[in-house]
Structure formats: structure tokens, C-alpha cells
Amino acid sequence: MYTKKQKSSRFTKDGYEAYNLTTFSRSRSPSHLNTTESPNSSLFESPVSFSTSPRNSALNKSLLNVQFPEDSELDDPLSPSTIPPDNDAEDHDPSTSDLCKIKLNSPLKSRKDSPSNSIDNRKYNPITFLPHVLYDQFKYFLNLYFLLVALSQIFPVFRVGYTLSYFGPLVFVLAVTIVQEWYDDHLRFKRDKQLNNEKYKVLSKEFHGSIQTPSKNLTVGDIIYISKNQRIPADLLILKTLNDDSGSCFIRTDQLDGETDWKLRAAVPLTQAVASELDFLDLDDIYSFNGSVYIHNVSPDTLSNNKSSQATGQSSIEFNNTTQSQGIDINNTIWKDCTLASGSALGVIIYAGKQTRSSLNSSSSRLKIGLFDIDVNFITKILFAVTLSMSFLLVLLDGFRGSWFITMFRFIILFSSIIPIGLRVNLEMGKNYYGRQIQNDKEIEGAIVRTSSIPEELGRLEYILTDKTGTLTCNEMEMIRLHTGNISYSLETMDEITSLLHAFKNNLESHDRQSSADKSTASFSKFNAKAVDMFKLVEALALCHNVTPTFMYSGLESQDLTNLDLEYSASSPDEIAIVEWAKSVGLTLAHRSPNTLFIKTSLYGHEFDYEILVNIPFTSESKRMGVVVKNCSTGSIEFIMKGADSVMREITVSNDWVDEEVSNMAREGLRTLVVAKKSLSHEYYSKFKTALEAAKLKIHDRQASINRVVSEYLEFDLHVLCVTGVEDKLQEGVQSTLELVRNAGFKVWMLTGDKIETAICIAISSKLVGKNARFHVIRDVADPMDLKQELDILLNVPVTTCLVIDGTSLQLCLDAFPDLFISLATRFASVVCSRCSPTQKGEVVTLVQKKTNKRVAAIGDGGNDVGMIQLANVGIGLSGREGQQASLASDIALVKFSHLARLLLWHGRNSYKRSCKLSQFVIHRGLIISVMQFMFSILFYYAPIPLFDGMLVVGYTTVYTMFPVFLLVLDTDISETVAMTYPELYKDLRKGRNFNFKTFLIWLLTSVYQGTIIVILALYFFKPEFIHIVSIMFTSLIINELAMVLVQLHFITFWMVYAQIGSLCIYLLSMFILPTFDMEFILSWTFLYKVLAISAVSWVPVQFVKVIATLLSPSSHSKLD
């Protein structure tokens, strides 16, 4: 049993409990309840789930039905009034809908069909581990090819050389992979075990008390106690908060979506109202508490069902034969893996295990294959064809004698080194090294490489699609402009507003000295009209938002408000900027709960209380938000709304100044909002509230019904109060970065939700476009024929122009003329898409990649950028004020946009060129030994006999040459200074000339020449010592390869010197160990000078041709010397 606790309110007028908070909610959050129909809605007959829809941010509803014993107490001012239930049978009968009933606090045996809440993130289990790992490895052609080659050695008819020489490299590669997979899976198992055994207090009717239950044993319907900073084990519906009478609590979602801000949640008012005098846990009747929750069933297509994102329902409470009904929504829930950040709470589990939101959202990331990997796969296919061709040619020259197909297969085995088994291992090691180099670069400190398979892709990019707010700009807002219709206020003239509020304060004090009978709203008309208007304007700005004040220190009385270290948290930096501005001129938002606002005039000591009657949240579809508030002193009710001018224009009384002033501010690069309001009578509000509550009780299409009621009752004839202008400054280094990437030949597109004028201003100031660039604007085109004419005009627009298009026109382009639009838009060096939705960003990225077949990078910092980041060839996320969601979803995370230039021009160049050189040399290493085998077979009458024994072949690809070859990843063709000073050098990388069919042919010819020369000269020089031909050829081969590595370098490091010396020492040591070598002959001068002569003849001509080719066709960077 729990001990009794003294109740306390987290926010009161007399004192404040301090929390150091950041933002508490996100209007962009993609959290939803999705539903699908189920014919059976009885208890647990079908699975239930929370799910999300990434394309809809509407609130989603479920249904609560709670029955209390007759002696339960209901004593809470927040408890809703009794509302007659909707007559729609489907809205009340779960059996006729797609709802599932969950009984609260029911016996455990009645919940035996509840899904398990055990966490199991293991990729394998003990039985499937080895088969699964082996399948994952052998589904790739290269590994399967080498397995077949190795298995063929079991049969004597196919055996050529030592079986170990074929199984050894394959087993080594597989062993490394298996150990790595086992270790990673073991770490996942340990983490899962820790979470599964975490204990929670569960209220139990059977035990008439609470029991400690491991997280893995929790079931749907359990009522659990969550304390501060405790992880949420499953998706919960909040029944009651134990430290706040209002039912408010804060949660953290950083472990779920990377968001670092705190988010506000509220208990269901019906259950929050229980036992106002006693602690909820100490109420004897809690164990006979009868309640039920109706939630939507889940089906395999829940996530893809667009209609399910509009799931709705209702809640009701039965008390003394009276039913109270109320809708519940996403704000009454806490998702699994969130953390309760304040106080403690009771919640009922509504989704558990694999049906929780986090589980349903867990899916394998889209596998990104870089262009370099595609090129490698293409060359690998050519190598296989070369292997078959060489084998077939030998059989053909031999006249297809005897069992020629067996002979041909033996030749395929002999030439298997043409396809190097170590190629993939070397490239993977190289990719990991590139990633560590990026992360350890002090110049771009904080960079994180999350996808190790795409570093080379950084050197092949052509398009950069970037967000604006928080990416190019700081996302640190400051309100610097206010226009009231006849006066424009800037930072220099804000003192005039403060003076007007002083005048209002003086009249207010005079009003306060009047008798109570004289204190009416009418007497305010005696005030200076201009001062009253200004107060009402600032008051509206201080009320219409979703900002929550927080404090750094506890125990401070309200009288000390001016000394508080007050901070504001919200999902939108714009809103914080406006509330901060209101505070600077005298109206301080001091306290907020789900239902109240407390504003204090910190300069004058007056306090104002407001009741939040209705909150209309911002959505990307509506582009506005509003509140209905009641002044607790005067009793007046007002509806205040703010939003984009494009939507506010339709619901406000027409005027002749808003459009002009919005355009003026936008041209200065300011983010604008239009603020308007109107007064509501109590009678009119009562009608609106009744209609709104009826809409909230609907199970289906609830949000549409709510929107319709708000539109019919509120959104018309509003009077514009002002237009606000908020400045978002450019990040440091953005201008130089964009100038560098433009000079490097990148085509930069800016995708933003801001107005066209604001977007153009930022494009100019950030140097997204050149100095004298012109803009071609397409806006407000809704007719396909008109759009076709606009697109036709683009054919005659110079490519140096910046194309600007708004969201409406862009959507029509994507729907009606996607191919034509992309083909025309990609002609321009820069494109700006304004009023762009998250969905449109993703569609644009996909279209550019698909239609141009070029490589695209997308960069952003917010949750609305996740879609395009995941769809792009390279997704780059910034860790910004909008949280970590974009960073966590990205392939590479950066701290600043200015780090982009170094990432591409330096690390992108190095990663691509190093992998090209490494892969080409590994292929050459396999080709040359196969050519030697080919020549040996020809000279010895087409016999499929190995030239070198197995140990030498294994040593050749490992200890004799492995370290020098791999250290090619340390080489750089130009210095860091040159790469950043001459960004034009990046253009050469896009041509793919460093690794293509032409370069493959060059290396193939080199291998043929060197392999042939080594064999022929060895036979020529050492005829008297033919018995030593193997050691002669192999030594010449090793010397040739080590020399070839050296000439590939532009800069020789001490690591390369150590590797060269070490490899030679290992080879010399093996001569004393392996029986292949006759040391008496090896130590003779004859052997030494003839081997050196063979190596020189095989190596020098190749270098001579290379020097001549370089002189005739020098590289771009060599021209800078």
C-alpha cells in the first residue's frame, strides 16, 4: 500500500514550484491515434494499438466510460457539466464501431489475452542466430560465389591446391561478421532485460492494494503509479496527477523522438475529479473502481490508413444514475518510453508491447546504396565475366579435350582471386575510417555519422535541398516590428508603447479607486482611447499562444515576480519571441495551466486572471491558432486568433493596410503574423460551447466536426489588431558556405514554409543566389492550364535566374505536371519553394532524384524535415532548437550549417577518391596473380594446376600486402587549404572518372602486362634454376605490388613506411619457415639482382606511361601548382 501524501499544487498565485524547463509541446509532432475497422469489439478479441500518421497532425480521440461507486466523491471545479449524450448510436455503442473495450482494474485472469509488454529488440534468438547470420551473408553474390568455390574443393575432381587456401579467407570474413553480430545482439539483450525487469506499482483489485510488477508482466487495463523521472512502460491514459489539482503534468520524449523540450499533458478531467480531499491511492473505493476505456483496434494496415488518422471517440462517467460525457484526446496520453518530468500520476495501460506507438513506429530504415557501391557492383559483374572468359579461352585453346567442363570449372576456381574476397572487407573498414575522421574533425566538432555506408556519396552530390528556419537561420526569434494599421513600431520606438501602457495604468488606478458600483467595463471608455487600444493589443499578444512560463528557483512569492529568472517554453520560437516582447513592454505571462492564464504588469503591480475556455491549436493545414478567453475580473469573453496573412485575410473584416504591411515586412526578411479578435456575448458563447461539446462527443470525423463548429461560430468578422514582424537572424558562416557550394557547382534549393517575400529576402542575404540574380515568381496558380502557360514561359528564362514558387502552385505542379516541372526547374542554379509543407518537401526530393538521376542531399533541423532527410540520397540533420528529431533521422548529423562546406569539399572528396583508389588496387592485386596463373597454364599445356600453393596465396592477400594496401585510405591528392580555396575542384568528382569502366580497363591492361612480364622473364632468366620458379615469380610479385602501392601515393606518411618495411620483414621471415623457399638459393646474389630486374621491367614502363599521360592530360588540381 502507498503511504498517504499531502497534496500540493505545482503552480499557485502565492508561490511557484520551480522547474528548469524548455519547450513543452510541438505543433509539428506527428503523433496520432489511427484506427481500422474490426467486426468484433469485445474485450481483447482483436489487437489494439496506438499508431501514427506522418502526414497528419490532427488530434485524435478515443473513448472513456467510467463508473464509480455511489459514495465516490466528485469535488473539482474543473469537472465538466453534465452533457446529454449524442443520439448517434454508433458514437455510443462500441459493438457497432471499430472500438475495443478495456476494463480498468479488472482481475488479471480477465486480461489473459492482453499482448505481452516484454521488450525484445534482439535481431536473433539462440536457435536462429547462426542460420540467420549465414543467410544474411550468403544472399550476396560475392560470398555465395566464394562458398561454392570453397565447397568444390571437397570433391577431388575439382580440387586445385590446398582446401584451406579457399576456406581460410571465407571463414575469416564470416567469423568477424558472426562475432560482431553476436556482440551487438548481446548488448541489445542486456538492455532489454534491464527494461523488462524494471518494477512498477500496479493497483490490484484482487490483492486490494498495490503490487510490484516487472514491466514485462504489465497488461492492458492495469492502473499503474508513475513517479517523477520514471520511464513510461506502455502507452498510458492519464487518470490523475497527484501533485497538481488541475491535472497537468510534463513529460519528456527525448528517448522516443529526440525532442529535448518538455511537453504538457493533462489527466482526463472525469477521473482527475475523484477524491479531491484524499489522495487517490488512499481512497478505499479505488479497489472497487469500475471503469472502461474504448480504444480503436489495430490491423496490419493501420499505419497506411489515412482515414485512421482522424480517429475519434468520447468519454463518459456515470455517477448516481447520471451520465457525464466528454471527449478525450492525445493530450491525455503518455507514450511508451517517454519520461514523466514533473510530479507523479496514475495511468491506465491502453496499449502494450508491440501495439504501442513506439513499436508501431519502429521500422527498418530505408537501405541507402551509394553511387560508388553501385559502380563497385558493376565492376564485380565484369570481373566475373572476365573469370568465365579466361577459363573458357583456355578450354577452347585446349580443343575441348576430355571432360572439358570439369577442366573449365577447375580454371574458374584457379582464377577465383580475380573477384577479391577482401574487397568488401577493405571497403567496409575504409568507410568506418572515413566516419571516424569526420567525427574527430575539430573544425566540424559535434558531427555524427549515423549511416556508415554513404561517405563516398558526399563526393558525388549535385543538389542540396535545404530548410530555412533553424537551418540557414538561427531559429532565435526576436520581435522587432509591430504595425497597428496607422503606426509602425520598430525597436527604436517601442518606448512609445510602454508610455501608452503607463497611461492605461494611471487610468486603471483611478478606476480601482472608484466604488464597486461604478466599476464596470463601460467606465473604461473614459480612458485614453489610444492607450486602451494599445493595452488590448498587447493583452491579445500575451494571451493567444501556447507558451508556458517556467522558473529557475523555487519558493518565490508572487510579489517577487520582477526578480524571478523567468523562462518561457513553447513549440514555436515565434510565440516565445512575441510573449517575450509583451513582457518587455510591461505585460508578463506569469503562470499558465490547462485552463487558466495569469498575467502580471511587472512594472506597475497589477494582476490579471484569465480563464482559457477554448484553445484552438495550430496545424500546418489551418496555419493559424486561437483562444477563447474570459477575463476573470470583468467577465468579458473574447476570441483571439493569429496566423498567416493568407488565411487570416478570409476571416477578418476587410481593410486596406494588412497586405501592404505584410509584404513590406517580408521584404525585410521578417516572419509575419496577423493578429485579430472579436468579443463574444455570454449567450453566444454558450451556444458555441454546446455545439463544440457535441462535436467533441463524436467518435467518427470528430476533428472535422470541431473545425466546422469553430468556423461557423467564430472564424468570421474578426477585427485586425496588428501585424507582428519577427526576425530570425542568419547563422554564422551561412553566406560563405552557400557561396562555396555554389562555386562547387551545387544546385541549391530552399524549401521553406515562409512567405515568398521572406524567402526571397533570405535567399539574397544568405547568398543562396548571386549578386545580380533575378527572380522568376510563380504564385497563387490554381488552374492547370494557367500553370502550363507559366511553365512554358520558363523555357525562355535564363538559367541564372532563381525560380520562386509558392506551395499552392507547387502542389499543382506535383499533381499535374511533375515531369515537366522538374525538367524545367532543374535548369536553374537556385530554386526557392515557399509555403512548402513537409509532404511537399519529401515529394520534391523524390522527384529530383528520380527524374535527374543525380545525387541529392537534404538538410534540415526540425521534425517537419525528417521526411525529406530520409528520402534523400544523403540526409543531413542539424541539432537545433527544434530538437533532435532531424538529427536522429539523418545519415550525418551536424551542429551548424556552416560545417556543410567542409563535409562535402574536404571529407566528401577524400572519402570518394580514397575508396576509388583502394578498390582499384585490391582488384589489381587479384587480377595480376590470376594473369600469372593464366600464362603459367598456357605455357604448361593448359593444365589446371595452381602456380602458387595455398599458403602463399593466402599470405599474398593478407600479411604480405594487406597493411600497405589498406593505408591508401590515408592518402590525399590535395591539401585541405586547396580543397576549401578552390571549390571548383569538386566538379570533377561528379563525372565519376576516378572509378569507371575506363579506369578498370587501364588497371586490367596494367595487370595483364605486369603478370605476363613477371612469368616470361622469370622463365627466361631462371631456366637453369627452374625448380625455383615459384619463389622467383612470387618474390617479384610481392616487390612489384609494394612498389605499385608507393607510386599511388601523393603524400608518404610514416604509417606507410612502417607498413612497407613490416610487410617485407614478414615476407622475409616466412621464407625461413615455409618449405617453398630454398634459402641457399634465395640468399644468392643471382637471385637478388634477377628478381630486382624482373620487378623493374614490370614496374618502370607502367610508371613511364603514367607520367606521359599526366603530362598530356593533367588533372585540374595539378594546374594550380
In whole angstroms, give the CA distance from residue 577 to residue 573. Answer: 6
Distance CA 736, CA 739 (A): 5
The mean pLDDT value for 832-837 works out to 89
Residue 332 binned pLDDT confidence (cut-offs 50, 70, 90): confident
- Across the range 243-259, mean pLDDT stands at 74
Identity at 36, one-letter amino acid code: T
Position 1061 pLDDT exceeds 90: yes
* Dist CA 343 CA 249 (whole Å): 7
235 is catalytic: no
Tens digits of residue pLDDT in 561-573: 444 567 787 767 7
Average pLDDT over residues 1054-1066: 94
pLDDT score of 817: 92
Query: What is the distance between the alpha carbons of residues 1101 and 293, in angstroms, rounded to a whole number?
Result: 83
Q: Is the pLDDT of residue 496 over 70?
A: yes
Q: Would the annotation count 881 as a binding residue?
A: no
Residue 682 has pLDDT above 90, yes or no: yes
Q: Helix 1029-1047 vs helix 950-957: angle between axes, to the nearest 10 degrees? A: 10
841 is in an annotated binding site: yes
* Contact of 487 with 881, CB cutoff 8 Å: no
Q: What is the pLDDT of residue 494?
A: 83
Closest CA to 1016 of 1099, 1097, 1101, 1104: 1097
Contact 914, 968 (CB under 8 A): yes
Tell me which of 523 and 210 has the higher pLDDT: 210
Please tell me whether 861 is known to bind a ligand: yes
User: What is the structure's pLDDT at 894?
Assistant: 93
Contacts of residue 98, Cβ cutoff 8 Å, sequence gap at least 6: 35, 36, 37, 38, 41, 296, 297
Question: What pLDDT is stored for residue 714 in this prediction?
Answer: 93
Query: Which pLDDT score is estimated for 200?
Result: 92
| Mean pLDDT, rounded, for 535-545 | 90
Q: Inform me whether the pLDDT recorded for 1120 exceeds 70.
A: no
Whether the predicted pLDDT of 318 surpasses 60: no
The pLDDT tens digits for 914-971 are 999 999 999 999 999 999 999 999 988 888 888 888 788 888 888 899 999 999 999 9
Which is more confident, 548 or 207? 548
Q: Which residues pair with 318 in a beta bridge?
A: 67, 323
Radius of gyration (Cα) for the chain, nearest Å?
36
Return the bridge partners of 568, or none: 549
- How many Å apart are CA 349 and CA 334, to the nearest integer? 10
- pLDDT exceeds 80 at position 516: no
Q: Give me the architecture of the 61-115+220-361 domain, per CATH.
A: Distorted Sandwich (2.70)
Q: Is 279 among the annotated ligand-binding positions?
A: no
pLDDT for 97-110, tens place per residue?
A: 456 666 665 554 45
- The predicted pLDDT at position 366 comes to 62
pLDDT surpasses 70 at 608: yes
Least confident of 601-615, 807-821, 1055-1069: 601-615
- Give pLDDT, residue 940: 84
Q: What is the pLDDT of residues 973-987, one digit of tens each?
A: 888 999 999 999 999
To the nearest whole percent, how much of the chain has pLDDT over 70? 78
**Pair 807, 837: CB distance under 8 Å:** yes
Report in angstroms the alpha-carbon separations of 1081 from 256, 404, 752. Answer: 70, 38, 76
| Helices (H), ranges, 139-198 | 141-152, 164-196
Q: Which of 96-105, 589-598, 828-837 has the highest mean pLDDT?
A: 828-837
Q: Strand 892-894 to strand 874-878: parallel, antiparallel, or no bridges (unpaired)? A: parallel
86 is in an annotated binding site: no
* pLDDT band, residue 503 (cuts 50/70/90): confident
Quick: pLDDT tens for 347-359: 888 888 888 877 7
Q: First and final CA of the chain: distance in angstroms?
A: 81
pLDDT score of 24: 26
Grid cell listed for 960: 604480405
Q: Tell me: the pLDDT tens digits for 383-436?
A: 999 999 999 999 999 888 888 888 898 899 889 889 887 788 888 889 989 999
The share of the chain scoring above pLDDT 90, in percent, equals 31
Structure confidence by residue, pLDDT tens digits, 11-63: 333 332 322 222 223 233 333 333 333 333 322 222 222 222 333 333 334 44
Beta bridge partners of 628: 614, 639
| Residue 787: per-residue pLDDT | 92
Whole-angstrom Cα distance, residue 18 to residue 10? 8
- Annotated catalytic residue, options 467, 574, 806, 973: 467
C-alpha to C-alpha distances, 911 to 16, 951, 980, 989, nearest whole angstrom: 55, 33, 15, 11
What residues does each domain of the chain span? 61-115+220-361, 125-196, 371-445+910-1120, 463-472+731-894, 475-726
In CATH, the number for domain 463-472+731-894 is 3.40.50.1000
**Contacts by 513-517 with C-beta closer than 8 Å and gap 24+?**
none
Tell me: is residue 753 an annotated ligand-binding position: yes
Q: Which three cell numbers stand for residue 674?
A: 496577423
**Torsion region of 475: left, alpha or beta (phi above 0 gives left; psi -120 to 50 gives alpha):** left
> pLDDT averaged over the chain?
78
575 assigned to a ligand binding site: yes
188 or 913, which is more confident? 913
Provide the CATH topology of domain 475-726.
Answer: Calcium-transporting ATPase, cytoplasmic domain N (3.40.1110)
pLDDT band per the 50, 70, 90 thresholds, residue 904: very high
| More reliable by pLDDT, 71 or 518 | 518
Question: What pTM value is reported for the model?
Answer: 0.73
pLDDT value at residue 117: 86
Q: With 70 as the cut, is the pLDDT of residue 522 above it?
A: no
pLDDT digits (tens, 9 = 90+) for 76-130: 322 333 333 333 333 334 333 456 666 665 554 455 567 888 888 787 888 888 8
